[in-house]
Structure 1
Amino acid sequence: MAVLLSIGEFATMTRLSRKALRHYHDVGVLEPAKIDPETGYRFYDTSQVRSAHLIRRFRELDMPVAEVKAVLEAPSESVRNEVIEAHLRRLEEQAERTREAIASLRVLLGSRSSDSSADPPIGFRSEPAVAAAAVTAVVGIDSVVEWWKGAVSEISTVLSGAGVTPSGVVGGLYSIELFSEEEGEASVFVPVDVVVPPVGRVHMVTVPAASLAVAVHSGPAEDQTYGQLGTFVAERGIGAAGPVREYYVEGGVEICWPVTSVASV
């Protein structure tokens, strides 16, 4: 049988402060079982203890109050679980970003700007124009990784369905605006020797020829490799207009910066 509890007793049982309980009442997440009309004192009953514990756990996991309310008021277990799973996925993604940031910071702390021995080797090559199956879109910098995964999967499905074998590795073209404005054009492409009919977002393109300075990156701190490669090109005055490229090779990523010509380097 439920028993009425003072706000102090309820706070002790749930580790939710008076301030927190008043806030959750105000936003409609946890309303008192009774409010004294004369004193305004809030009373809770013992059946609400579990809900309060859930609220506290969810908030400790940074679940927004609106989602906490949606969980508590979910019309079915499946709907409730969908809300919880969506939040857990966000937490996992955030944890992965945190791990990557920590690893990148360790790399930076372990290197010295005056010591070039840790810099990746930089080479040069000319890429001819090639026909490729591609997905192109204007994307935001925060969503480009997920977009890239979807694009690669879509191209792979289309080529497999058409019985076409790639003639080269997966590559990407990324506009300067993607980095400077946090939104810009990006293309993922797979070289092919035959014309592939357009399906969904996949279409044929000609990847233009380019002279490139190239550094291979592996592990965390991709921005550091970009910085080292860009610095190398800028200090020699050999940079050319055009998007940066990436080629996704075994063991890492070839980061490619356009240069005026390989012959002049």
Structure 2
Amino acid sequence: MGDGVSEVHGEALLTIGAFAARARLSAKALRLYDRLGLLAPAHVDETTGYRYYRAGQAEHARLVALLRRLDMPLARIAEVVHADGDRAAGLLDVYWTDVEARVAAQRTLVDYLRGRLTGRDSDVYGKFVVETVDVPEQVLISETRHLLADELPTWIGASLGRLEEAARDCGGVTAAPFVVYHSDVSAESDGPAESCVPVADEAAARAWSEERGRARQTRVRVEPAGRLAYTRIVKAQVEYPQILAAFGAVEEWVAAQGLTVTGPCREVYFADWETAGPEDPVCDVAFPVR
């Protein structure tokens, strides 16, 4: 038929060269998309191995190429292109929300690293507003774990979830949950860290701990009233290691005010993590002081 068009089983199909030109892609890219299951040819000649495409597949091919330009992983591209319109758009929205969250976190990390590299840490710390708050005595149910920084996000969510569920049997949650770092948690140091949920009923909490709490290094303790020096950060700033800038800012402020740190640092989680966006305040980075 000419012009890169061949008749196969009574249907006019484009050779890979003609289809590549129409889709504005290379033949190499089309072979890759076929191999990855993103765009299969309409027909492959069993003898020659030549690939043939329908003209209508060009839009599909361009869609794959555009999604690749978003640095979308191939597995996620496959999900999008094989979904119907509304679901495909929803999958794209989920991916892009993840991208924006990652970029926001990386932006914070770049600011922190720039300060470290230039020796102007104070320029970074000056972006944080540090205040103090008085906290009443609290009955806490807690779970302690030795773990490294990359394990921390998953454990925090899971442990606080378990403790908040347990709090139903302990008179209910009375204040924002928090995580205490009794020693450094990093890529090399494993803490320990302690997830804490304030509850209303100490007697019920101790009964719960005796009955069901031993398996996960849980305990009940009463934290005396005290004062916290803290700075409020958004979700994008919580990820390690950029959160170190917030801890550094509070430590510098405490020293400048002539205060004394009286206990381990902590992160107080006062917002719904799942529904918060990258720029929404979610956490107070704090040190007990006097």
TM-score by length of 1: 0.63
Task: For 1:93, give the aligned amino acid.
Answer: D
User: CA 1:71–1:126 in 2, change beyond 3 Å: closer, same or farther?
Assistant: closer
Task: For 2:34, give the aligned amino acid.
Answer: H
Q: Tell me how far apart the structure 1 counterparts of residues 79 and 189 of structure 2 sit (CA, whole Å).
A: 32
Tell me if 1:216 matches 2:230: yes
2:196 corresponds to: 189
Task: For 1:216, give the aligned amino acid.
Answer: Y
2:130 and 2:250 in contact (8 A); partners too: no
1:204 corresponds to: 219
2:131 and 2:231 in contact (8 A); partners too: no
Q: 2:72 aligns with which of 56, 63, 69?
A: 63
Task: For 1:158, give the aligned amino acid.
Answer: A
1:44 corresponds to: 53
Q: Tell me how far apart the structure 1 counterparts of residues 50 and 61 of structure 2 sit (CA, whole Å).
A: 18
Task: For 2:142, give the aligned amino acid.
Answer: A
1:173 and 1:245 in contact (8 A); partners too: yes
Task: For 2:219, give the aligned amino acid.
Answer: M
Q: Tell me how far apart the structure 2 counterparts of residues 176 and 91 of structure 1 sit (CA, whole Å).
A: 36
Unaligned runs of 5+ in 2: 1-9, 238-242, 272-280
Q: Tell me how far apart the structure 2 counterparts of residues 175 and 85 of structure 1 sit (CA, whole Å).
A: 42
User: CA 1:179–1:57 in 2, change beyond 3 Å: closer, same or farther?
Assistant: same
Q: Any idea what SS the aligned residue of 1:4 has?
A: strand
1:2 and 1:46 in contact (8 A); partners too: no
Tell me if 1:96 matches 2:101: yes
User: CA 1:140–1:47 in 2, change beyond 3 Å: closer, same or farther?
Assistant: farther
Q: Tell me how far apart the structure 2 counterparts of residues 126 and 168 of structure 1 sit (CA, whole Å).
A: 10
Q: Any idea what SS the aligned residue of 1:9 has?
A: helix
2:248 corresponds to: 227
1:125-140 pair list within 5 angstroms: 131-138=139-146
Q: Tell me how far apart the structure 2 counterparts of residues 165 and 28 of structure 1 sit (CA, whole Å).
A: 51
Tell me if 1:162 matches 2:169: yes
1:36 and 1:42 in contact (8 A); partners too: no
2:39 corresponds to: 30
Shift of 1:107: 8.5
2:142 and 2:220 in contact (8 A); partners too: yes
TM-score by length of 2: 0.59
Shift of 1:164: 0.8
Task: For 2:181, give the aligned amino acid.
Answer: Y
Q: 1:244 aligns with which of 265, 271, 275?
A: 265
User: CA 1:50–1:234 in 2, change beyond 3 Å: closer, same or farther?
Assistant: same
1:10-29 pair list within 5 angstroms: 10-29=19-38
1:2 and 1:47 in contact (8 A); partners too: no
Q: Any idea what SS the aligned residue of 2:57 has?
A: helix
Q: Tell me how far apart the structure 2 counterparts of residues 114 and 135 of structure 1 sit (CA, whole Å).
A: 35
